[in-house]
Amino acid sequence: MRILFISLFILVGTSIRSQVLIIDTATVSKVIFYDDPVYYSMGDLNGPAVSLDFSIINTTDSVFYLYPSTSTFFLEFSFKGKGYVSKEHPLYLVTFFEIEKLALQPGESYHLDFGTSIFLGTNILYKETKDVYDYSIEMLQVLPTIRLTYRDKLSELLSKGIEHVKIVRYEYTSSMGNLPKLKQKAGKARSDKPGTQAK
């Protein structure tokens, strides 16, 4: 199954307005989660985690300006014919969002990354209590459809695909968290991620 993840994605990113937004690497983790009867860790039932390393590249022969303080990222994907989109404003990109104006010289790129629990807030996330939560099939269908959009007051850049997929901790257990559970067994999905909706 892991080999399928890596071999299926050799897609080159592209965008509009001759500027390029490329998802260089998507790092996937916690695809299979084993619920430990004794321990838990934060976010156990949030489903698979996906971290995106991406670059905005100026492919023109003139200076291109970004306006990060007015910007938002949108993460989109499809599953079983239904589209999902979430508005992403990661706290750890706060320094980027504080920049008023950013100049990219011809051929220059700007690298960013952020992670998300991609199924949190969707009906893809398992709601019933399980001993093993296996999202392998879901991730195989979703990964090729992931698109990232950068939007500020003057520009909109859309990725077209993922160049590389990396697997880290494909299988995960709550015993890694080292937090003792209370008497009741956790089994319900955590609260929804704001902004996620089906198209």
Residue 41 DSSP label: -
Q: Are 144 and 9 in contact (CB under 8 A)?
A: yes
Which band of pLDDT confidence, cut at 50, 70 and 90, is reported for residue 177?
Answer: low
Within 13 Å, how many C-alpha atoms sit on residue 46's CB side?
Answer: 17
User: What pLDDT score was predicted for residue 97?
Assistant: 94
pLDDT mean over 158-187: 70
Neighbour tally for 40: CB within 10 Å: 22
Please state which of the ranges 49-63, 148-162, 164-178 shows the lowest mean pLDDT. Answer: 164-178
Burial class, 78, CB count within 10 angstroms (exposed 0-12 / middle 13-18 / buried 19+): middle
What is the rounded distance in angstroms from the CA atom of residue 149 to the CA atom of residue 162? 13
**pLDDT value at residue 90:** 79
**Shortest CA distance to 187 belongs to which of 77, 35, 63, 42?**
35
Assess whether pLDDT exceeds 80 at residue 179. Answer: no
Question: Taking 90 as the threshold, does the pLDDT of residue 189 lie above it?
Answer: no
pLDDT at 36: 73
Taking only the tens place, the pLDDT of each residue in 36-94 is 766 666 667 889 999 999 999 999 999 999 999 999 999 999 999 999 999 887 777 89
Q: What is the pLDDT of residues 89-124, one digit of tens each?
A: 777 789 999 999 999 999 999 999 989 999 999 999
Look at strands 64-66 and 132-134 and give their pairing: unpaired
Pair 156, 21: CB distance under 8 Å: no
Q: What is the pLDDT of residues 12-34, one digit of tens each?
A: 333 334 579 999 999 999 999 88
> 2 vs 8, 56, 136, 139, 185, CA distance in Å?
10, 29, 9, 11, 30
Tell me the pTM. 0.76
